Structure 1
Amino acid sequence: MIVQRNMSRERASNRVNWTPDAVRGESAAWRSSWHPPGSEYFVVDDHEFYQQDGEATLLNYRGAPMKPEQVVANAIRIAADHGAHDVLVTIGPGPLAELGNEFLDASGARTVAVIDVLACEIGPDMAGQIAMPPDVGSTRVTDAHGLAAFDRVSTDAWGFRSPVLQDPESAHDDDGEPGLFVASVAGIPVGAGGYSLAGEVARLWGAAVLPEYRGRGVYRGLILDRVLDGRRRGATLALVHAEQTSSPILQRIGFGRFGERRRVRIPTTGSIR
């Protein structure tokens, strides 16, 4: 098991001091404009959306500083003007961090998902702190054969192609080469996941394991090998926006929880606008 380190301890002057606020700042900086194929993408007054099946999703607000209540009120209005019956908004580190429950209650908001902000400093002894079954391993994609396996497993596990294969810009990396990994059990590809490097942060994303191979250490292997690859490239922190299915696993192996990103659905009719 990884022993979680004190995130506020002093570090060498040329490396980031990973305080809790610094971790939350990295979470806020991790934004994406990816939108599903077939959705309508649009930007109005620095509010960035996609819309699909009558529901709009606020991806980002990239404008001048504004009260979070006003950002969301604008999003509701813009979504309604585009014919959406609901708008999805993510509340967490970033422009909407201070959005109050009173506003949400008055808007008829309903929580539909909670994503945990998890992080762990990457130490030199990490490889020996996660127990791995002998028949589980993962490798970084380096050729067309590996990319095909990554695509196949991701699609089978998630039910859709990985966003990084649909839109390479969705996984922007400091050196333009996000790390894609395929995990195997006894040589059979059964899991896939990726990460992107942003400064000293390895942003882990998209890990999935075929249902029949879950519970066998495949997900742990994907975490370990991506983190170690990130460390080789200069990362000192691993950051995950974790679903509730994977968050307990990550916390058991030493990732700390530094906040949450709460996704809420707000009706565009009868809401504060």
Structure 2
Amino acid sequence: MNRAPAPALLALHDREMREGARPDGPDDTVQRVGRVVRRTAPAHGWNGVVWSDLGADDADAAIAEQVAHYTALGLPFEWKLYGHDLPADLGQRLVAAGFTPEPDETLMVGEIGRLTLDAELPDGVRAVPVTDEAGADQVATVHERAFGDDASWLRRQLLDRLAAAPDDVVAVLALAGDVPVSAARMELVPGTGFAGLWGGGTVPDWRGRGVYRALVAHRARIAADRGYRYLQVDASAQSRPILERLGFSPLTTTTPYVYEIPGRASVSRQEEEEPARGGVRGPARA
């Protein structure tokens, strides 16, 4: 199997995962408005811009149009800016329009057939699939212990996905005995070559023991069995070195630019893979 060069792989990701974005759940809509693709979801879902192809002459008007759209719905939202997006000053234009940038993440992609997938869970720890409310409760509990924020949004979102498209989402818990110590998810995107890794989190007492690495390998094997070629990750600074050791390559940066509406709950944000601390951003596309 030939390895796709990085520019070609980035272009494929743009085409299939961003410009060709699909709804995440039964109540989501994806719209192409001019040179922008945006996702609109319930308040506990992820709302925002996933792709744009703008120039200096139309960027400000496109930004204003998205602000008007989400403000009319009363929804905070995120403009997910990639490092190669144009115009080059799009981030500055977003700030001028009232957006707040959050820490950069790294878009990393691994060709599954070339990844190192021999990582196993520590002795006494097993991987258990999440298929019901009890499992979703445990995923939310792990998230709250790992990141210190409320995860009621995550429980609702995961249950929505399991009900609407159970074959397209893989959620897994790592249990030490009967105690959940880590959780992670994977989204399979039919009609593309990509599966996405999201929301990897491990409770403090179990960090540094290889649990996160093993859950990456576990999900990669499932994706391979289902015919997917690539895994994509929005990686935090903590997860990037682990993923590089597994064979993932950085393609570009991503920066969440968040637009809040006064008096409304904080924006529901897309997650990154975060084995250690911080970084998973509020209610999110899982």
TM-score of Structure 1 vs Structure 2, range by shorter chain: 0.5 to 0.7
Of 184, 194, 198, the residue aligned with 1:205 is 198
Of 183, 192, 210, the residue aligned with 1:192 is 183
Q: Deviations over 1:65-124 (max 9, x none)?
A: 89443321112234455677x75422238xx93242442353354312433211100127
Q: In structure 1, give the amino acid aligned to 2:127.
A: S
The 1:241–1:218 alpha-carbon spacing in structure 2 relative to 1, beyond 3 Å, is same
Q: Is the 8 A contact 1:154 1:208 kept in 2?
A: no
Where does structure 2 lack aligned partners over 5 or more consecutive residues? 144-150, 263-286
Distance in 2 of aligned mates of 1:256 and 1:190: 27
How large is the RMSD of aligned CA atoms in angstroms? 4.3
Q: Is the 8 A contact 1:58 1:75 kept in 2?
A: no
Q: Is the 8 A contact 1:157 1:211 kept in 2?
A: no
Q: Which residue of 2 aligns with 1:252?
A: 245
Distance in 2 of aligned mates of 1:90 and 1:170: 27
Q: In structure 2, give the amino acid aligned to 1:251.
A: E
Q: Is the 8 A contact 1:164 1:170 kept in 2?
A: no
Instruction: Report 1:33-44 matches (<5 A).
Output: none
Q: Which residue of 2 aligns with 1:20?
A: 10
Q: Which residue of 2 aligns with 1:14?
A: none
Q: CA deviation at 1:207?
A: 2.4
Q: Deviations over 1:135-155 (max 9, x none)?
A: 4442434xx6xx455313311
Q: Which residue of 2 aligns with 1:157?
A: 142
Instruction: Report 1:93-172 matches (<5 A).
Output: 97-99=85-87, 100-123=90-113, 126-128=116-118, 130=119, 133-141=122-130, 147-148=132-133, 150-158=135-143, 159-160=151-152, 161-168=154-161, 172=165
Identity %: 20
Of 4, 7, 13, the residue aligned with 2:4 is 7
After the TM superposition, which of the residue ranges 187-196 and 74-83 deviates more from structure 2? 74-83
How many pairs were matched up? 242
Of 70, 74, 84, the residue aligned with 2:65 is 74
The 1:81–1:232 alpha-carbon spacing in structure 2 relative to 1, beyond 3 Å, is closer
**Which structure has the larger Rg?**
1
Q: Is the 8 A contact 1:33 1:170 kept in 2?
A: no
Does 2:79 correspond to 1:89?
Answer: yes
The 1:51–1:132 alpha-carbon spacing in structure 2 relative to 1, beyond 3 Å, is closer
Where does structure 1 lack aligned partners over 5 or more consecutive residues? 10-16
Q: In structure 2, give the amino acid aligned to 1:194.
A: R
Distance in 2 of aligned mates of 1:78 and 1:34: 20
